Amino acid sequence: MGARVAVLVSGSGTNLQALLDDERIAPSIVLVLSDRADVKALDRATDRGVEAEVIAFEAHPDRDSFTDTVRDALLRRGVDTVVLAGYMRVLGPSFFDAFPGRVLNVHPALLPAFPGAHAVADALAWGAKVTGVTVHLVDDEVDHGPIVQQEALAIRDDDDWDSLEARIHEIEHRLLPSALLALLEGRLDVDGRLVRVSEAVR
């Protein structure tokens, strides 16, 4: 495929692990970048021989400066595709201008329902009967870009945050590699907000 992928993380990195465990994707991952130094995702990267870097938001005077530093770190390594896998920082427009149509995010709800950082808790608090996972292309609005894949999940009457999140993770770990592979293989046809995903050639 020839792609050079960076995965941006802020936490334990279970979605990163799902990508690293996919032999079709792992060779393309050249950088794992975190905004926090004390996260397991960085260990997952180094355990697989992938370069890991930390760029802390607090070291920058504002979001634009932070955005430019993150963008430049990726461009220096020839990155052309970006995955936001539990990355909890909002990047500015200059980042997405550098990677047009090449940034994917995984979100633990069926967008446009329950955007933001607390989607699992929000779905439970709302009394929703169905939630799920969305993988979407990212634009300069939060949890807004064209949807690549979604999968619904019924919320059980006895679900709490831990039980629901665990089942959401299972879906994320399938959907994110599938969507990224489709992007890397040129199987996404984007027409405004509509994304058509063609089948892989066997």
- Kindly tell me if the per-residue pLDDT of 164 is higher than 70: yes
Q: What average pLDDT score do residues 12-16 get? A: 96
Whether 26 is in a domain gets the answer: yes
- Kindly tell me if the per-residue pLDDT of 159 is higher than 80: yes
Whether 117 is in a domain gets the answer: yes
Whether 199 is in a domain gets the answer: no
Q: What average pLDDT score do residues 171-188 get? A: 97
* Weakest-pLDDT range from 9-23, 32-46, 187-201: 187-201
List the CATH number of the domain containing 107.
3.40.50.170
- Kindly tell me if the per-residue pLDDT of 151 is higher than 80: yes
Whether 173 is in a domain gets the answer: yes
Whether 43 is in a domain gets the answer: yes
Q: What per-residue confidence (pLDDT) applies to 141? A: 82
Q: What angle do CA 171, 139, 175 make, to 5 degrees?
A: 15
Q: What per-residue confidence (pLDDT) applies to 202? A: 64
Whether 93 is in a domain gets the answer: yes
For residue 106, the tally of other CB atoms under 10 A from its CB is 25
Q: How far apart are CA 105 and CA 111, in angstroms?
A: 12
For residue 173, the tally of other CB atoms under 10 A from its CB is 18
Contact 124, 132 (CB under 8 A): no
Instruction: Please give the residue range of the domain that contains residue 116.
Output: 5-190
pLDDT digits (tens, 9 = 90+) for 50-83: 999 999 999 999 999 999 999 999 999 999 999 9
Residues of the chain with pLDDT > 70, as a percent, come to: 99
- Kindly tell me if the per-residue pLDDT of 1 is higher than 60: no
Whether 36 is in a domain gets the answer: yes
Average pLDDT across the chain, whole number: 95
Annotated catalytic sites, by residue?
107
How many separate domains does the chain show? Answer: 1
Whether 196 is in a domain gets the answer: no
19: helix, coil or strand? helix
Contact 83, 7 (CB under 8 A): yes
Residue 55 backbone dihedrals phi, psi, to 5 degrees? -125, 105
Q: What per-residue confidence (pLDDT) applies to 200? A: 77
Reported as a pLDDT band with limits 50, 70 and 90, residue 143 is confident
- Kindly tell me if the per-residue pLDDT of 24 is higher than 60: yes
Reported as a pLDDT band with limits 50, 70 and 90, residue 139 is confident
Contact 104, 138 (CB under 8 A): yes
